[in-house]
Structure 1
Amino acid sequence: MKKRKVAAVFLILGFLLVYLMFILHRDSSYNADPLRDTVSTSTPQPLGLEHEENGESFQYGIMFDAGSTGTRIHVFKFQVVDKEIPRLKNETFKAISPGLSAYADDPDACTPGIMELLEVAKTSVPQSLWSVTPLVLKATAGLRLLPGQLADKLLDKVRALFQESPFPSKEESVSVMDGTDEGISAWITVNFLTGGLQSSDSSTVGILDLGGGSTQITFSPKDEKTIQISPVDDIRSFQVFNKTHTLYAHSYLGLGLVSVRRAILENPDFGSTVVTSICMSPDFETTFEQANIIYTLKGQKAGEPAYEPCRTKMEKFLYKKVTKVSEAADLDFYAFSYYYDLAAELNLIDLKKGGTLRVSDYTTAAQKVCGNLVTSPPKIPSLCLDLLYISVLLQELGFPLDKELKLARTINDMETSWALGATIHYMETLGFFPKTSPIPDRAVTDFSPIGSPTKSRCF
């Protein structure tokens, strides 16, 4: 009997020893993964720090922006201080074209471009930090518009190339970004650069982004009614730098400027291979292919008015496609991408410094350009159409003609791309930044990370 008891004791001790060894091995393996899904509270310092001689600490993040017209790499260098919001020290940027979606029929053909951009990352990040610098690719409207199978094959090719690089990258680190998340990331970027994220009050700004394939509007509502009456998918709550933010965020896929040009211009009547557009100058002519048929697109006939007919066409095109925002007239907004590019093209703002415009400035510019298509054809053939689209779109979104918008390509000499905001959120979520001191905010009953709608409809 005693022998059986002794054997039982040794057996139990053996099981305990094996269990403890398993726990220790599991924890050591878990803590060694720099891209783990949650962060261990016992981690003594954030991951991937470079300590320079002057005692400052830095971290790097790499973001690929796979847009509809090109692929860009952003390598961000952050200075980190314990319990403080990180500071962006500099950014390395390079762009290549065409966009990733151009290789839909031959994914392998994207390899040289991706490898070229990875070389930029290698030369921008100290080699000692390659293994702890996260590598991410987010594709936007160009891939969102592709059939799922074609997009998946492209992303799988990029994943394989990333796995061969010296930078850590998970399978989910290469993905198609939801349009709403693109807007939220841009909102984080702008409010990080303007100081809104560092403020204890609610002094944040909204953003308007007009890309080639989609357009976004994102802001932090000041009126609780906005949250209550908005569709649940348009209200997102998330946490960044120890503060919870609740945003109205809506993305309109297919309402980017390039998509709208195609929808308005490339709409041939049945049985005809010649398309005439009232929005284009008389001397304009080009061809395009649709459903294996070659069409000819021509401008208006000389002497025909353009402004009113083209405006009417825009109003019909946008009818019931966008939702008016009740707070649009009262909040400060920054506008980017084609909003900026067209204003700079017309010298309405400084090309490098940006500026401030009213919605009516786009309308006035459209009247001038559309009214002079015969005598002064614009360098951009679709400029009349583009300006009218922006003018009508802004008004349909709820912005009055006298509403002022701030246009900026950079803030404090840093680019205003959504890539910065996405990198900040990604790195903080995975524990690459130190915990910051809490910033007082409006309490919410629940919050969801970027990528899922909030469950709560009120503060």
Structure 2
Amino acid sequence: MGLSRKEQVFLALLGASGVSGLTALILLLVEATSVLLPTDIKPSQPAGSGALSPAAVPGPGISSYTSNAAQAGESLQGCLEEALVLIPEAQHRKTPTFLGATAGMRLLSRKNSSQARDIFAAVTQVLGRSPVDFWGAELLAGQAEGAFGWITVNYGLGTLVKYSFTGEWIQPPEEMLVGALDMGGASTQITFVPGGPILDKSTQADFRLYGSDYSVYTHSYLCFGRDQMLSRLLVGLVQSRPAALLRHPCYLSGYQTTLALGPLYESPCVHATPPLSLPQNLTVEGTGNPGACVSAIRELFNFSSCQGQEDCAFDGVYQPPLRGQFYVEASYPGQDRWLRDYCASGLYILTLLHEGYGFSEETWPSLEFRKQAGGVDIGWTLGYMLNLTGMIPADAPAQWRAESYGVWVAKVVFMVLALVAVVGAALVQLFWLQD
């Protein structure tokens, strides 16, 4: 005798509940995926995405507007307007904006503190009335400038933290961290993680990034930037051979120009007075002598102050032994007015790296000249912004196990189907009229 209709429905519901329940159980066993939980501070922009791209401000730095401080503020207007185009208008008031000034303003503060204050007031006024969340302007110490450059490079390269193929956030080996070298107009910086303790604590900068602690050596040499070097080089040649015609070994042979003598001595980096016998305007003629050029450049350094000291760069400044790979910011001015100084600049950088910082034939291959690191522009500005906004968390990214949305939906559906089938079978058994 066959099954009754009630029995057929009852068995069908039991079968459906079993299949649905078994499917839900299988989905429960599906391996979860590692996900990064949001921290209590703003998440960071993925390194190497290239989305963080600073815009260049045309014209000189704000420290050059000593005769008209108001123009220093107005000089930022174009860059600000360019940035506002890229930011949705609804987010303007929520966008934090900062201004950090470096070596040019540090020199001006030494030379004329009231002029420096006027310039800071002017830029603060312009940025303060703009439709952004302006957090203020500040003068960065040389140590901070070098440290922020180091953060920029290693953030861009992903050597601080990276997402592994196994689905975990890991800290790369310390050996992958790179050092940063920066040549500015007024100063130059070197920053790296040494192989041992930093003996001079005034050269040490400490960070906690992504749950890891870092101690880097960093030093900024004020007056050793490219522009100040060229001015000091000219003054040194004038002082050594005072004459109406100055023969410059770093200029191309046959090149001739006329320079005003007074402005050369206005920089706080120059500790001399112009010879009284010279005219206001000086005729400078190039001789194209690389050997004499290097000799004149070496006079800008005090190498003898490091004699008898193991860990010393120049001018008596402590520096531990070099370690690791280094990124140097490369620049291509592309303007004719820089051509006369290419020889002096190149030989100066060579002297600084070899005799100053101590790069040798063995460590020379560890130097890379780059405009970008991992898709972000090299320089201190990005590291400064990341630090102020907390976009690099101090704590390690939190890990959790989670399943994909599709798996979660399927599991819920089959669990509901199993429950409906069980309830249906019970109702059939209890309330279906007997045959």
TM, length-normalised to structure 2: 0.65
Q: Which has the higher contact order (CA 8 A, sep 6+)?
A: 2
Distance 1:102 1:253 in 2: 17
- Written as runs of structure 1 = structure 2, the 5 A alignment for 1:57-206 is 79=45, 89-91=51-53, 93-146=55-108, 147-170=112-135, 173-198=136-161, 199-202=171-174, 203-206=176-179
Q: Is the 8 A contact 1:275 1:295 kept in 2?
A: no
Q: State the partner residue of 2:251.
A: 280
Unaligned runs of 5+ in 1: 1-42, 48-58, 60-77, 346-377, 440-459
Equivalents in 1 of 2:371, 2:172: separation in Å? 26
SS of the aligned residue for 1:91 comes to coil
1:393-420 residue CA offsets vs partner (Å, 9 max, x unmatched): 1122111134221111012332122211
Task: Quote the sequence identity (%).
Answer: 24
Contact 2:54 2:377 in 1 (8 A): no
My pick for the range that moved more, 290-299 or 137-146, is: 290-299
Superposed displacement of residue 183, structure 1 = 0.9
96 and 141 in structure 1: CA distance in 2 versus 1, 3 angstrom threshold: same
- Seen in structure 2, the aligned counterparts of structure 1 residues 379 and 438 have a Cα distance that, compared at 3 Å, is closer
Deviation at 1:244, TM superposition (A): 2.0
Structure 2 contact 73–119 (Cα < 8 Å) conserved: no
- Counterpart position of 1:261: 230
Task: Write the deviation string for residues 138-164 of structure 1: whole angstroms up to 9, x where unpaired.
Answer: 112221111222111101111111221
What's 1:30 paired with? none
Q: Does 1:249 align with 2:224?
A: no
2:57 is paired with a residue whose SS is strand
Counterpart CA distance in 2 for 1:261 and 1:324 is 25
1:88 is displaced (CA, Å) by 5.9
**Distance between the aligned counterparts of 2:209 and 2:81, measured in 1?**
31
Q: Give the structure 2 partner of residue 422 of structure 1.
A: 384
Structure 2 CA distance for partners of 1:433 and 1:183, relative to 1, 3 Å? closer
- Which amino acid in structure 1 is aligned with residue 326 of structure 2? F
CA contact (8 A) 2:212 2:396 kept: no
Name the residue aligned to 2:31.
none
CA RMSD of aligned residues (A): 3.0
Structure 1 residues 174, 407: closer, same or farther in 2, change over 3 A? same
8 A Cα contact 1:234 1:248, kept in partner: yes
Residue of structure 1 in register with 2:35 after alignment:
none
Q: Residues 9-28 of structure 1 correspond to what in structure 2 (within 5 A)?
A: none
Q: 1:92 to 1:191 in 2, by over 3 A?
A: closer
Secondary structure of the residue aligned to 2:349 is helix
Mark the CA change 1:271 to 1:90 in structure 2 (over 3 Å): closer, same or farther.
Answer: closer
Residue 180 of structure 2 aligns to which amino acid in structure 1? I
Structure whose residues are more often helix by fraction = 2
Distance 1:207 1:111, change over 3 A: closer
SS at match of 1:222: coil
Aligned positions, number: 316
Contact 1:213 1:254 in 2 (8 A): yes
Partner of 1:240: 209
1:290 to 261, 277, 294: 261
Q: CA 1:241/1:104 → structure 2, altered by over 3 Å: closer, same or farther?
A: farther
Which has more radius of gyration?
A: 2
Amino acid at match of 1:217: I
| Equivalent residue number for residue 327 of structure 1 | 321
1:336 aligns with 2:307: no
Q: Deviations over 1:23-46 (max 9, x none)?
A: xxxxxxxxxxxxxxxxxxxx9954
- Give the gaps of 5 or more residues in structure 2: 1-37, 162-170, 264-278, 304-313, 399-435
Which of residues 221, 227, 231 is equivalent to 2:194? 221
